[in-house]
Structure 1
């Protein structure tokens, strides 16, 4: 299980089922000044967010003090608190979705309010200690009866046997994640990233209140509304969650700013890359690769597709990819071979990719990739998000929409284009290795490339920001039918990272996505 290690990441824990009683009580939610004849919908959450943005930010005053016995729990101790499965909400009602809740404790100290919308009317889920089995924990004082929730998770029958599977969870700040059929939890998303990767302290907005629309027996999607709050802004969020082989979240966010923001990260993703096939320094690990994601994929507004393998750098790296109206971006897990990980417990080959599909026109901006040095796999050290070029000013409001797909083997890229499957790096030279040069080997694959004759004049377009490219070779691998590009990089001693770029072509016809890489001297 992951813990909060690193300066911008809060990480999830997911609980196993435990003991049993009845499902939680619901009470009528507090009334707003909205006429009671209007069914509760997203416009009401927008109104609440707009009103709160005109008021100074304050910590959640309704949250009771979290006892030290819970605040001081470690990862394993918190994980040992189990939700009583017979208290699962909507259990026994023949509905396709069911809910369970998380207690406060460990890293998850904020109290969130959760409502259920039924027939247009919100009802608040009542907290009770009896919802949880606290296991062998011993508390010096009785737990307060109003301890409150930290989040919730969603169940849905993904398989034809109709057994319920956990498909999504919201827990900690504005973090959430989801999985599709056959996947296991890996990378996370969050509602907003504020000043991530700057020298100043990052701001962590909080989803402090949720409204969940009760489904009917035929529902194939679940609607969740969320109220976001932080010193700099408030926000109304709508999530339409559609589980399946690929689980998709349709996200609408309406933000109201209390003050300007230096770097606003929209649709942020958070992941882990410890080491992989492109790691060119020794890692003392019996497993060949350890990562939740192995690359950043970008669909640019001009139709170009870009693949950037992830790294675990020696120094903080911030990469910026400017664009206008991108197709989307995502942190992907392309490598699906168990033998490349050899990890029976963590099952990295089953971790989902997360693809952010733009909705509407995003305008000018940039995709940011942040890579943080890490010495352990429990550290989430990768972040990617979209930063609008337009500056954020006080009293403004923004609407931002996207679809977030948690997928496995399917790719958002157009069929036929060659994809960079592997990147390997080592000493240059042939029979005698030359440590003063670095050799790069990149394998591209697609159905189109498989069908191209080995005699075709396939070549590579390669460029570097410094140094020079030597001995470029492109040939077809007869054992895999992939096309392999290899070249050597010769560069002067420099602390500045080197940016590499390459793609395959025949004449003027492009055959592959653009492979880019940022390499730094050890």
Structure 2
């Protein structure tokens, strides 16, 4: 089963090379020859990250050449649910017969996933390509599956693959669970122990949020390094391509209670881009307790992530609750050498979601930690209006102040941490929830807006109820009431109240944090209000 809503992800341009025709050997593999896509051209013997870098550099030296051969009507017309019924035969999983700790399944092209992706396996430093076989798939639901060859009279043997699924005994030693998926443009997802798919990551974002058309690079080729029998990590190399850039990527994936992906990237630009988004994250936010309008939904909250977290180079921690407003919102958080940023799912209470199928309380948070100095730039948050939970309408990424040139490669590394609570070791206060309603006391005044913000954390939980905790609250426009802070024993934290008398319909930028004397007790809560 592919990750939920994968079929609704936007796709990039198609691939530029053809699948190598190979024969014989385990899994139908043979060493790739000089002209094969799986080969390390010009470097005999050992395959390394440098091999992918050379491929990316050579690719960028020429014009972009898409490779999206026509699909038979049956595959081209598949809708999301029909595509999900193209099922890889579990007993055909790569490395299953060898009882290795990781297994691999491959997605076929079809429906929205039209880009042809070459898959290679690396063993003893040698890369070989995996040929497409229709016999790898069944079609139909789990109760009525048939071999693909039984459903269609002719399945083209060059149909090709669309992506990769990794399996690993994540939750039980005797069951191989889905660990990660690379499918569609440069999107990938992974899960930690005990959680379900939710947030997505991307290899690169180009011109996201601009008035001009966004460019979606694709991973056109993958190389998977065969793991040892006692391996606890797996390495995947990927070749990225688009009209403006080609790139080499290495993903070191280490599953566990916290699944960690160490990313190494080197980009070669064919032409300068207007906006470059590094380490992009994509998520879904439909509504929550901060939604300032009526939502006709039995569920109190529906989202994969509930806020953007940014830790600047100076150590300031900022939390921006997500919203689903009626208009596009783009927010920038400037920082020098950011320590971390991510889209998090802090609310883990089922009672706040009430969805036994989607289980939004079990969606992972994703935190990006740059490796080294990324210099000056900003974390950009893009929030797109959405009328359905089917669509990923939230994006966050790092935008360097200076766009890379076309004269030399651009390198960067980072760690992506996926967990239920990547902030578990923090002791300071952090935002749990944001609620908004009409102002006033005995009589409600809808022209005023009341904000109720709950902060939690070990430091706050340990404060006696009579501690003189204060709040510092600021606004860009409008008038604020005197803030009130009081203990919240139900959340084992402290609650902040204040009212805003806006000057017009917005936008209004609000900031708040808790303190005791000169000691800052919490992160900075940051919110942009607009009258809906």
Per the TM superposition, whether the score is higher than 0.5 is yes
Task: State the 1:134 CA deviation.
Answer: 2.1
> How many residues are matched?
506
Q: Is the aligned partner of 1:80 residue 2:92?
A: no
User: Which secondary structure does the structure 1 equivalent of 2:450 belong to?
Assistant: strand
Q: Is the aligned partner of 1:26 residue 2:8?
A: no
Matches within 5 A, 1:31-110: 31=34, 32-37=40-45, 39-60=46-67, 64-110=69-115
Task: State the 1:313 CA deviation.
Answer: 1.0
Q: Is the aligned partner of 1:358 residue 2:406?
A: no
User: C-alpha offsets along residues 440-498 of structure 1, whole Å, 9 cap, x if unaligned?
Assistant: 0000111111111111111001000100111310011233331000000001224x411
CA separation of 1:139/1:197 partners in 2, compared to 1, >3 Å: closer, same or farther? farther
Distance 2:112 2:217 in 1: 15
1:521 pairs with one of 524, 528, 531: 531
Query: 1:231 is matched with which residue?
Result: 243
Query: 2:464 is matched with which residue?
Result: 453
Residue ranges of structure 1 left out of the alignment (5+ in a row):
11-21
Task: State the 1:65 CA deviation.
Answer: 1.9
User: C-alpha offsets along residues 361-393 of structure 1, whole Å, 9 cap, x if unaligned?
Assistant: 100010000000000000110000000001233
CA separation of 1:139/1:165 partners in 2, compared to 1, >3 Å: closer, same or farther? closer
Q: Is the aligned partner of 1:297 residue 2:304?
A: no
Task: State the 1:157 CA deviation.
Answer: 1.2
CA separation of 1:194/1:455 partners in 2, compared to 1, >3 Å: closer, same or farther? same
Q: Which stretch shifts more, 161-170 or 353-362? A: 161-170
Distance 1:358 1:391 in 2: 17
CA separation of 1:406/1:66 partners in 2, compared to 1, >3 Å: closer, same or farther? same
Normalized against structure 2, the TM-score is what? 0.92
Distance 1:232 1:459 in 2: 51
Q: Is the aligned partner of 1:320 residue 2:302?
A: no
Q: Which stretch shifts more, 341-350 or 1-10? A: 1-10
Contact kept in structure 2, 1:208 and 1:228, CA below 8 Å: yes
User: Which secondary structure does the structure 1 equivalent of 2:498 belong to?
Assistant: strand
Task: State the 1:94 CA deviation.
Answer: 2.0
Matches within 5 A, 1:375-386: 375-386=387-398
User: Which secondary structure does the structure 1 equivalent of 2:63 belong to?
Assistant: coil
Query: 2:117 is matched with which residue?
Result: 112
Task: State the 1:2 CA deviation.
Answer: 1.9
Distance 1:56 1:303 in 2: 43
Query: 1:154 is matched with which residue?
Result: 166
Task: State the 1:26 CA deviation.
Answer: 1.6
Task: State the 1:139 CA deviation.
Answer: 6.8
CA separation of 1:6/1:158 partners in 2, compared to 1, >3 Å: closer, same or farther? closer
Task: State the 1:68 CA deviation.
Answer: 2.1
Contact kept in structure 2, 1:29 and 1:124, CA below 8 Å: yes
CA separation of 1:335/1:520 partners in 2, compared to 1, >3 Å: closer, same or farther? same
Task: State the 1:140 CA deviation.
Answer: 7.2
Query: 1:505 is matched with which residue?
Result: 515
What is the root-mean-square deviation of aligned Cα atoms in Å?
A: 1.8
Q: Is the aligned partner of 1:477 residue 2:483?
A: no
Q: Is the aligned partner of 1:175 residue 2:187?
A: yes
2:474 pairs with one of 450, 457, 463: 463
CA separation of 1:509/1:92 partners in 2, compared to 1, >3 Å: closer, same or farther? same
Query: 1:121 is matched with which residue?
Result: 126
